[in-house]
Chains A and B, each alone.
Chain A
Amino acid sequence: MRQVEIAGTPISRNDGVVKKKTPKAKLQAHGIRMIFRRDGNTISVLDDVGLEVGEGEFVCLLGPSGCGKSTMLNVIAGFLTPTAGQVLIDGEAVRGPDPRRIFVFQERGVFPWLTVEGNIGFGLFKLPKVERDERIAYYINLVGLPGFEKAYPHELSGGMKQRLEVARALAVNPDMLFLDEPFGALDSITRLIMRGELLRIWEAERKTIIFVTHDIEEAVQLADRVVVMSARPAKIQRTVEIDIPHPRDISSKRYLELRDGIFEQIGLAHKV
C-alpha cells in the first residue's frame, strides 16, 4: 500500500481527486488479500485492497456483481479472516465481529422468530429492562414502525423488514454500520425512500457507514466518497469524492458529471 500516515492524518492515493482531510481515520485496511480454495482451485478474490474511512464518513464500495466487495465488507466486519493484510479500527486490529460495529444484511437478516420489539431489543440484553424498552420505543419511531411492535417479520413488507434491521443495528448504538447491498431486494420506489431514510438517520446519528452496492446511482446519491472496485480479483480502481451537499439534486450538472465519470471508469457506455 502506498499510503502514508502522518500524525493520524491519512493521505490516501486517489487519482488526483482532492480528499477532504477527515479529522481522524476510523478504519484503515492495508494490503488485504483473500484467496479461497474450492475443489482444488484457488480463487483470488481480493488483491491488495487498501481502504481508509474517516470518522463519521459515508463510503460506498462500488463494483460489479461478484467482484469481491461483499467479501471485503465481511473482512472489515471480522466475519472473514483475510489471507494477508490487516484491518485496523480505531488503531486496533479487527479479530472478529464486534457489537460496536454492526453489519446489516439484506432484509433476511432479521430474526423471524422474534417480533419487531424482540428484534430491536436483541442486542440490548445487557441493559436494564426500563432502559431497553425506552430504546426499543425510540428506534421503532425512528424507522417508522409504530403500531407494529408485536408483529413478526413475516407479517411485514420487504421495506419494513429492512428498516427493522437498520433499527436493530442502531439500537446498540454502534460507531460503525456496514451495509451489504441492503436495498438490493427492494422495489425501486421503496429503494428510493429507504435511501432518503438512511441519509436522514445518518445525519441524525453520524455513524461511520460503509455501504456496499453495485448500483452507481445509489452510490453517487448516498456517499461522501465512492470507492470503485475492479472485477475479480478486486483492486481499488479509483476513489471519487462526491462533493455535493445533501439533499442532492440528481439532475444537477455536477451529479451527472460524477455519475457518468464512474460509468466510464467501470467501462460502461451510458446508453441503453
Chain B
Amino acid sequence: MEKTLPIMNLFARLRPLGFIALLLMAWHIAVKFQRVQLLPSPLAVAHAIAELAQRGLLLKYVIASLFRVTWGFLMAAVLAIPLGLLLGWYKRSQLALNPLIEILRPISPLAWIPIAILWFGVGDGAAIFLIFLASFLPLVVTAMNAVGGIAGVHINAGRNFGLTPRQLVSRVLYPAVAPQLIIGLRITLGIAWLVVVAAEMIAVNSGLGFLIVDARNAGNRYDLVVAGMVMIGIIGLTLDIGMRSLEKAKSLRWGYSED
C-alpha cells in the first residue's frame, strides 16, 4: 500500500460530497433563472423535508415503506433461498422448473398490481405481496446458480470426511454459497425498494410512494414530490451500504476475490 497523507485521504473522502454540493448549487442557480416552473429549488425541497418532519409524516412514511419492504423481502428470502438451493442441488428439478421461472421472470412485478389488489384488497397486504413477488424469483435464481457454482472438490471433500447429508448442507453447501447469496440479497433488496414506491402509489395511503402521488394530486406540491424522491434515494443508499458491509466478513471475502 502506498502511503498517503491523512489530509489527502480526507480530501478524497470529501470529494463526492463536494461534487454533490456543486450540483446543488448549479440546480439552485438554474431554478433561479428559469421562467417556467420545472423543478422546485433545493432550498424549497429542504423546507419540504423539514415540513414533513414537523408534521410527523416523514418518520411515519419512511417506517411504513420500510415495514412493507421488510416483510415482503424477508418472506421471499425465507422461501426462495431454500427452494433455490434445492433446485440447484437436484439438477432434474431445476430442468423441470426452469422454463416456468424464465417465463415468470420477465413479467414486471408491477404487472401484478391488479391481481394483488384483487387478492389482498387495497392495503399493506397487496404492497407486501408485490415486494414478495419482486424479490422471490431473483432470489431463487441466485440461490440456484450459487449451488451450480460450488466446486465439486469441496463437496467430495465434505463427503470424504464422513459428513451426514445434514452436515454437508450446513458445513459445505451453505458456506460455499454464502458470498453469492449475499450479493443476490443486496441486489434484490434494491429491487424491492424500487417496487415498494410503485406499489404505494396504487395500493395504499401511506409511505414514500404515496407521498409522491398524493403531493402531486393534492395541489401540485412539487417540493414535496422531490422531497419524497430524495428520501427514497437516501434510504436506498443506506440499505445498500448496510448490505455491502456484510460482504466484508473475512469468511466471505474469498468469494469476491478475482483469483
Contacts and interface: CB of A to CB of B under 8 A. Distances in A.
Interface of A: 77, 79, 96-99, 101-103, 105-106, 108-109, 111-114, 122-123, 125, 152-154, 172
Nearest to B160: A97
A154 B179 CA distance: 14
A102 B178 CA distance: 26
A97 B159 contact: yes
Nearest to B179: A113
Nearest to B151: A108
Interface in B204-259: 250-255, 257, 259
A113 B175 contact: yes
Given A77-B160, A99-B162, A123-B162, A113 B151 contact: no
Contacts of B250: 152
Contacts of A122: 157, 161, 171
B172 interface: yes
Contacts of B154: 109, 111
A152 B254 CA distance: 8
A108 B153 contact: yes
A99 B254 CA distance: 26
B156 interface: yes
Given A99-B162, A123-B162, A111 B157 contact: yes
Given A99-B162, A123-B162, A154-B259, A109 B254 contact: no
8 contacts: A79-B156, A96-B159, A97-B160, A106-B153, A111-B154, A111-B157, A152-B251, A172-B161
A103 B161 CA distance: 9
A103 B251 contact: no
B42 to A, nearest CB: 45
Interface of B: 151, 153-154, 156-157, 159-162, 167, 171-172, 175-176, 178, 250-255, 257, 259
Given A154-B257, A154-B259, A111 B160 contact: no
Contact of A113 (B153, B159, B167, B252): B252
Given A79-B156, A103-B156, A114 B257 contact: no
Nearest 9 Cβ contacts at the A-B interface: A112-B254, A123-B161, A99-B162, A113-B175, A97-B160, A105-B153, A109-B153, A97-B159, A113-B251
A113 B178 contact: yes
A153 B254 contact: yes
Contact of A98 (B151, B157, B162, B257): B162
Q: Which of B250, B255, B257 has the most CB of A within 10 A?
A: B250
A123 B160 CA distance: 9
Contact of A103 (B160, B162, B171, B172): B160
Given A102-B160, A123-B161, 18 more contacts: A77-B160, A79-B156, A97-B159, A97-B160, A99-B160, A99-B161, A102-B161, A106-B153, A111-B175, A112-B255, A113-B175, A114-B251, A122-B161, A123-B162, A152-B253, A154-B253, A154-B254, A154-B257
A114 B154 CA distance: 12
B160 A113 contact: no
Contact of B156 (A97, A106, A113, A172): A97
B178 A103 contact: no
A110 B157 CA distance: 8
Contacts of B253: 152, 154
Contacts of A109: 153-154, 157
Contacts of B159: 79, 96-97
A113 B161 contact: no
B198 to A, nearest CB: 38
Identify the interface centre among B157, B175, B250, B254: most chain A CB within 10 Å of its CB: B157
B170 to A, nearest CB: 11
Nearest to A154: B254
B146 to A, nearest CB: 13
- Name which of B156, B252, B259 has the most chain A CB atoms within 10 A of its CB: B156
A125 B253 CA distance: 25
Contacts of A152: 250-251, 253-254
Interface centre among B159, B176, B255 (most CB of A within 10 A): B159
A132 to B, nearest CB: 13
A148 B176 CA distance: 22
Contacts of B175: 111, 113-114
A125 B162 CA distance: 10
Contacts of B162: 97-99, 123
A79 B254 CA distance: 26
Contacts of A97: 156, 159-160, 162
A103 B157 contact: yes
Nearest to B257: A154
Contacts of B259: 154
Most buried by B among A77, A112, A123, A154: A112
A98 B161 CA distance: 7
